[in-house]
Amino acid sequence: MKVQLKDTIFQSCILNASGPLCTSEEQLYNIDNSSAGGVVSKTVTWDVRKGNTKPRYFDNFLGSINSMGLPNNGHQYYIKVANNIKKPFIISVGGMNLKEFIDILSNILVSIINFDKKIDGLELNLSCPNIIGKGQVGNDFKALELYLEEIFQIYNKLLYNRENKPIVGIKLPPYFEIVHFKIVAEIISKFPIDFITCINSIGNGLIVNWQTETTAIYPKNGMGGIGGSYVKPTGLSNVRNFYLQFKKLNKDIKIIGCGGIECGKDAFEYILCGAHLLQVGTQFYKENTSCFRRILKELYEIMKSKKYENLEDFRGKLKTIPLQDTHHYHD
């Protein structure tokens, strides 16, 4: 089940989500040697970043809460690692402000131009909810457009004459108002964006340990990003709404679905809603790379049972339940 996004061919539709188990060279090689279709790095900042104070991650049977604070080895580390990764390699780009974003992006693009670094894609993380004192750019629509204007100005300037350009996407926060999907889709459609990833974790959730009468994590008074099963309905909604908005705008912007993917059924549902690729975070943290093979196997079995031969047979073809089909309703 290979998936092509422009000139980049992913070996399967399942990727790791930027976040867990993708910080070190060893972890990236572990993903590279798995059934994942490609490799996504931890979100990078200019310098090495330790992240927030521990404990900063907690999971249970419904999902997880984290306030990691973008721990990573600095952007130069991931540029150096790039050529040793066989599968498509996407660097998740972060920054504490617009200048840092631009500086990191410039360095990555120069490394591609001057040193032929094998960096296949860039995922602009405009939605991390766990940086103390910082809001999510994706929730400030004026800031979102400003960031994209500045980012693509430097992107187009540096790669003006280059044929093989890395694919570029944005990792978005979850949205909850229908009008916001329309606004964000219209902003994104102004720029040569190849994909969006939705959703990032739902920010500022709180999990309480009733036995100890404490929070589950330490940073931000115990508040952090919620992931796993908790967020799947929101993830599906975001994928579906953006799929329909881009279709209305006649824009070929692909969607990477993320949030609560634990099994083949979850993967099937995301693709049915319109996802082109999928990212797995919480379940990857719990199960390590074996989750990729298992989810793909379960997805294939569902497709076989429904007589679907490829992903295009059902991608985006979610139907609204007919009005006369009332047996699902309970008054």
Dihedral sign from CA coordinates of 260, 262, 264, 265: negative
The rounded distance, in Å, linking the Cα atoms of 188 and 170 is 9
* Contact of 218 with 248, CB cutoff 8 Å: no
Other residues' Cβ atoms within 10 Å of the Cβ of residue 29: 15
The rounded distance, in Å, linking the Cα atoms of 220 and 130 is 8
Inter-CA distances, 47 with 155, 267, 290, Å: 21, 35, 32
Q: Is 198 a catalytic residue?
A: no
**What is the enclosing helix (H) or strand (E) of 178?**
helix 178-188
Inter-CA distances, 187 with 49, 80, 92, 145, 157, Å: 31, 33, 21, 6, 21
Active-site pick, 13, 22, 128, 198: 128
Q: What is the DSSP string of 272-294?
A: HHT-SEEEE-HHHHHHTTHHHHH
| CA 60 to chain CA centroid, nearest Å | 21
The rounded distance, in Å, linking the Cα atoms of 39 and 120 is 10
For residue 123, with 0-12 CB atoms within 10 Å meaning exposed, 13-18 middle and 19 or more buried, which class applies? buried
Could you give the maximum distance between any two Cα atoms of the chain, in Å? 65
* Contact of 254 with 5, CB cutoff 8 Å: yes
Dihedral sign from CA coordinates of 119, 121, 124, 125: negative
User: Which residues form the catalytic set?
Assistant: 128
